[in-house]
Amino acid sequence: MSKFYLNKSVLEFYKKMPFNIYSNSYTAIKSLKTNDPLSLYPPLKKIIKNKKNFNIIDLGCGAGWFANLLSYKFKNINVTGVDFNPRAIEFAKNIKNKLNLKTNFVIEDLFEVRSNDKLDLVSSLGVLHHTNDCHKGIEKIIDLSPNYICIGLYHKYGRKPFLSHVKKLKSKFKKLKKDDFEDRMYAEYKKLDARNSDELNKMSWFRDQMLHPKETQHTLAEIAPIFKNKYKIFSTSINRFKKINDLERVIESEKKWYDYALEKLEKKIYFPGFFIIFAVKK
Ligand SMILES: C[S@@+](CC[C@H](N)C(=O)[O-])C[C@H]1O[C@@H](n2cnc3c(N)ncnc32)[C@H](O)[C@@H]1O
């Protein structure tokens, strides 16, 4: 499977600099401790129950913020982070060791992952849109048969204004030499992303957002049918994690994310255009 769906240029890109890496473990840990997974992703309240042997796999865990954050906040769960980039896994393991957590980290292509354990949750945040086939990635997660699924992807409408902006900038600076081009792009990125983080972390976000060799964008309308028979989508950031009475109504509303994203861009407020869905086994 992996021969067809992983993207080698993506692996090389992340080997140069893993996404969401920090200059040192101190700043990474400080940032991790400020996050609350339940406020970031409210449906997790329903999912993470106080039982023993609660098993989670985070596919494409990168430098491990989510896997380590879950281990840090919930002592009763077993979290495995999987990523095909050895540099990202090394960073994630270092943080885990410093915090004395029991997160398990594995270097592997997500399309090759097998599990003998009964899985409660499989998450994959910002990953599948960087593979050669996002839909096959979702099918792979469904094959692992967890009780719950949490997937984060770039949204077709929510990301459009940001991508148009990047395209214009690339064209404006296209005659510059590579280093100068990247410097100018980075300066432009910093105008949008005013979040306080260390320089290496910001650089890794910039590369991810503006220099990535491969990304696709998706909609709820397009991915919902993949889940249909086996899973029910019960929550999404598209309607800000409100109760879903009728998924079709939520789908009808998703184009509005274009206007929201445009407004953010015009006000120079960072909005990379990402959406989350949670699904439960039927
Ligand atoms: C944008 S980063 C997101 C990392 C992490 N989920 C987070 O939220 O910070 C994408 C990650 O997906 C990983 N990735 C992409 N394709 C993969 C594959 N086929 N198998 C395993 N990891 C993959 C990359 O190495 C990278 O760490």
**Tens digit of each residue's pLDDT (9 = 90 or more) over 61-113:** 999 999 999 999 998 899 999 999 999 999 999 999 999 999 999 999 999 99
Q: Residue 243 has what pLDDT?
A: 95
Of residues 92, 155, 161, 162, the one with CA closest to residue 129: 155
Residue that has been written with the tokens 């509303």 in this structure: 253
Whole-number Å distance between alpha carbons of 150 and 125: 8
Give the strands of the sheet with 274-281, arranged side by side. 104-107, 77-83, 54-59, 121-125, 148-154, 274-281, 231-236
Q: Is 205 in the pocket of ligand 1 (CB under 6 A)?
A: no
Pocket test for ligand 1, best of 8, 20, 83, 140 (most atoms within 8 A of CB): 83
Contact 135, 223 (CB under 8 A): yes
- What domains are defined for the chain? 2-160+214-281 (3.40.50.150), 162-209 (no CATH)
Mutate to test the pocket of ligand 1, among 84, 106, 217 (most ligand atoms within 8 A of CB): 84
Residue % of the chain over a pLDDT of 70: 99
- Tens of pLDDT, residues 151-203: 999 999 999 999 999 999 999 999 999 999 999 999 999 999 988 779 999 99
The confidence score (pLDDT) of residue 2 equals 53
pLDDT at 194: 85
**How far apart are alpha carbons 129 and 215 in whole angstroms?**
5
Q: What is the mean pLDDT of residues 240-248?
A: 96
Instruction: Using the atom order of ligand 1, give the atom closest to the CA of residue 208.
Output: 1
Query: What's the residue count for the chain?
Result: 282
CA–CA gap between residue 40 and residue 38 (Å, rounded)? 5
Spatial contact of 250 and 275, defined as CB atoms under 8 Å apart: no
- The pick from 2, 112, 127, 154 for probing ligand 1's pocket by mutation, whose C-beta has the most ligand atoms within 8 angstroms, reads 127
**Mean per-residue pLDDT for 247-255?**
97
What pTM value is reported for the model? 0.96
pLDDT in the model for residue 254: 98
Mean pLDDT of 116-131: 96
Instruction: Give the Cα separation of 207 and 19 in Å (integer).
Output: 8
Q: Which atom of ligand 1 is nearest to the CA of 65?
A: 9
- What is the 245 CA–ligand 1 centroid distance (Å)? 32
What's the rounded Cα separation, in Å, for the pair 48 and 33? 19
Confidence of residue 3 (pLDDT cuts 50, 70, 90): low
Q: 231-236 and 274-281: which strand pairing?
A: antiparallel
Query: Which residue owns the Cα nearest ligand 1 atom 14?
Result: 60
